[in-house]
């Protein structure tokens, strides 16, 4: 059981790191769009290329209103929800499982 608990905790840590990196990329994408950066810049290409597949489904649901694109904001809310509802629950369950595995059992 301890192996399962540690694996779940490790998975939660990896997912948390991936979500954090996605959040940083989305925020960078918003900043890049505000400052009208050169789209041929390699860093801008990496930021836009890595965030576009995540933003595109939300842009279909909520199309831009004039110059205001709310899809990055909706994506950030979705990532935060996954972080706190799914990843944190996985980490908490792993901790409960680990504590339960370490409890002494009666040998009657």
Structural domain includes residue 59: yes
Structural domain includes residue 85: yes
Dist. CA 79–CA 86, nearest whole Å: 10
Structural domain includes residue 47: yes
Q: Which residues of 56-80 are buried (b: 16+ CB within 10 A; e: fewer)?
A: eebbeeeeeeeeebebbebbbeebe
Structure confidence at residue 102 (pLDDT): 80
User: What is the number of structural domains in the chain?
Assistant: 1
Residue 51 lies in domain: 2-101
User: Burial of 30 by CB count in 10 Å (0-12 exposed, 13-18 middle, 19+ buried)?
Assistant: middle
| pTM of the predicted protein model | 0.84
Q: For each successive 10 residues of the chain (108 residues), what is the average pLDDT?
A: 91 97 97 90 95 95 89 96 96 92 70
Dist. CA 33–CA 7, nearest whole Å: 39
Structure confidence at residue 107 (pLDDT): 58
Question: Strand, helix or coil at 77?
Answer: helix
Structural domain includes residue 106: no
Structural domain includes residue 107: no
Structure confidence at residue 66 (pLDDT): 87
Structural domain includes residue 19: yes
Structural domain includes residue 108: no
Structural domain includes residue 76: yes
Structure confidence at residue 101 (pLDDT): 83
Structure confidence at residue 108 (pLDDT): 60
């Amino acid at each position: 059981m301890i192996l399962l608990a540690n694996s779940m905790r490790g998975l939660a840590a990896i997912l948390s790191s991936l979500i954090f990196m996605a959040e940083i990329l989305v925020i960078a994408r918003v900043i890049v769009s505000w400052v009208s950066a050169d789209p041929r810049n390699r860093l801008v290409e990496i930021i836009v290329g890595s965030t576009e597949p995540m933003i595109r489904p939300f842009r279909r649901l909520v199309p831009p209103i004039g110059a205001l694109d709310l899809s990055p904001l909706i994506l950030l809310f979705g990532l935060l929800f996954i972080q706190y509802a799914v990843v944190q629950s996985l980490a908490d369950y792993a901790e409960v499982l680990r504590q339960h595995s370490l409890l002494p059992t009666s040998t009657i």
